Amino acid sequence: MSKKYEMTIGGETVTADDYTDVRNPANMEEVVGQAPVGTAAHLDQAVDAATKAFASWRNSSDQDRIDACNAMAKVCTDNSEELAVLLTKEQGKPLGGMGSQFELGGCGAWAGFTAGLSLPEKTIEDSDERHVIQQRVPLGVVGSITPWNWPLLIAIWHIVPGVRTGNSVVIKPSPFTPLSTLRMIELFNEVLPSGLFNVVPGGDELGAKLTNHDDIDKIVLSGSVATGKKVMASAAKGVTPVTLELGGNDPGIMLPGTDPAPFTEGLFFGSMINSGQTCGALKRLYVHEDDLDATVTALSGMAANIPMGDGMDEGSILGPLQNERQFKRVIELVEDAKANGGTCVTGGEPMGGPNYFYPVTIVTGVSDGVRLVDEEQFGPVLPIITYTDIDDAIVRANGTDFGLDASVWGNDGEECTRIAAQLEAGTVYVNKHAEIAPHVPFGGIKCSGLGGLFAEEGLAAYTSIKIINKAV
């Protein structure tokens, strides 16, 4: 019998009437654990507990909040082994490399760094007429909704700034990867005030109930554009502030005549990190037609040397796709590309077996207008698209509703800077891709998101401005 994981609400363990099996996507046989099925009643209970916790946490001192974030960092570090194994088994990503241990390292680093951030009171005017100060005050109960690709790190991105600024939290993890979040929140509750963190797992409909809840004061979602639009619409009801971190279809442009050799590793892992299941991964690469062969040779050569396998095997660098929906989507997009003139230089077929492994697939012969180029594939598949005129490549790179990240690759620094200035994205990298850090604000533009996370800017999004204006 596999282990049952439980909800934590108001500091208490809460059992459910129903549980679902969470299976390992590397084999589909192993039941990693059973997740409780949260209901609307659990959600009400969790929001109520968070509201009560907020009543006292809003008056906590700055030092209390710093201590709370540091305690969260310590929990992540002290329990990284257990959490990383659970994450690997339910998500599929390898333990090593840029996998679960890396994700847990990120959780500790983000929580620790966020502890040290602050939004100090500002004196706006101190004159003979008035004394005006600006404070940043917490919003209340934060409703956090997370995806399945980086479930723990994204949970940390959502909840640590909330608690650092005096809010309490209800988190609804993805139904595909709920176990590691349930366990992490349980561990937080062992050392932090009851009710500050509450977790209720469930499907998409439960997410909608959370965002429609009358007593939620802030919503933070990392998920698809389609979900982001629904969440934004439901937030309108209560004029609830939202932070939306949504999908991307990140373009990379290589300058004409660029030798791909020094950039191969950066391009490869910029695209294939977490088997491509990363919002800010490189998802389409534009190269000059004369540079196509060299670029394809370099990237497919690297693909041949990167082992993909069960995340618990030490040698694995890439893991499977996480769920059936995503697996089918990747197959569908590659088949569509093949039907529209695309050639798979590597990969192009599922690896077989009762699992969701799909090999690294480099596709040539496709261009804008083919779904694999126009849509977010979210898998280990990279279309390489040729151009003849770099300014045309910029227009094509920008010809999308997405605007998360983008990158420029080449040795001419000035030209890279010129192109970076024209690319429509929240972050433009030069000679790298998908590098994030807790002190660098991160967020998308256009349909890729609203508001940002990280650094002081991200922290401010969990507060409202309050002005105290005194007569002198």
User: What residues act catalytically?
Assistant: 245, 279
The pairing of strands 343-346 and 361-364 is antiparallel
| Beta-bridge partner residues of 385 | 286
**Count of residues near ligand NAD by CB under 6 A:** 30
Minimum separation from the CB atom of position 116 to ligand NAD (A): 22
List binders of ligand NAD among 251-310 (CB under 6 A): 279
Under the criterion CB under 6 A, does residue 189 sit at the interface with ligand NAD?
no
C-alpha span between 143 and 202 (Å, rounded): 14
Under the criterion CB under 6 A, does residue 181 sit at the interface with ligand NAD?
no
Q: Kindly tell me which residue out of 50, 231, 255, 299 binds ligand NAD, with binding defined by CB under 6 A.
A: 231
Q: Kindly tell me which residue out of 180, 211, 240, 355 binds ligand NAD, with binding defined by CB under 6 A.
A: 211
Q: Which of 100, 121, 103, 120 is nearest to 111 (CA)?
A: 103
For residues 381-401, one letter each, b for 16 or more C-beta atoms within 10 angstroms of the residue's C-beta and e for the rest, the string is: bbbbbbbeebeebbebbbebe
Q: Which amino acid is located at 468 in the chain?
A: I
C-alpha span between 395 and 377 (Å, rounded): 21
Minimum separation from the CB atom of position 55 to ligand NAD (A): 26
Q: Kindly tell me which residue out of 7, 22, 86, 246 binds ligand NAD, with binding defined by CB under 6 A.
A: 246
Minimum separation from the CB atom of position 211 to ligand NAD (A): 5
Q: Kindly tell me which residue out of 103, 217, 245, 291 binds ligand NAD, with binding defined by CB under 6 A.
A: 245
Under the criterion CB under 6 A, does residue 204 sit at the interface with ligand NAD?
yes
Minimum separation from the CB atom of position 245 to ligand NAD (A): 3
Q: Which C-beta is closer to ligand NAD: that of 153 or that of 255? A: 153
Under the criterion CB under 6 A, does residue 248 sit at the interface with ligand NAD?
yes
For residues 69-104, one letter each, b for 16 or more C-beta atoms within 10 angstroms of the residue's C-beta and e for the rest, the string is: bbbbbebbeebbeebbbbbbbbbbbbbbbbbbbbbb
The radius of gyration of the chain from alpha carbons, rounded to an integer in Å, stands at 23
Q: Kindly tell me which residue out of 247, 266, 270, 350 binds ligand NAD, with binding defined by CB under 6 A.
A: 247
Q: What are phi and psi of 433, to 5 degrees?
A: -155, 145
Under the criterion CB under 6 A, does residue 6 sit at the interface with ligand NAD?
no
Q: Kindly tell me which residue out of 227, 274, 367, 400 binds ligand NAD, with binding defined by CB under 6 A.
A: 227
C-alpha span between 24 and 196 (Å, rounded): 30
Residue indicated by tokens 């990503």:
93
Q: Kindly tell me which residue out of 376, 379, 407, 429 binds ligand NAD, with binding defined by CB under 6 A.
A: 376
Which residues lie near ligand NAD (CB under 6 A)? 145-149, 154, 172, 174-175, 203-204, 207-208, 211, 222-224, 227, 230-231, 245-248, 279, 376, 378, 404, 444, 449
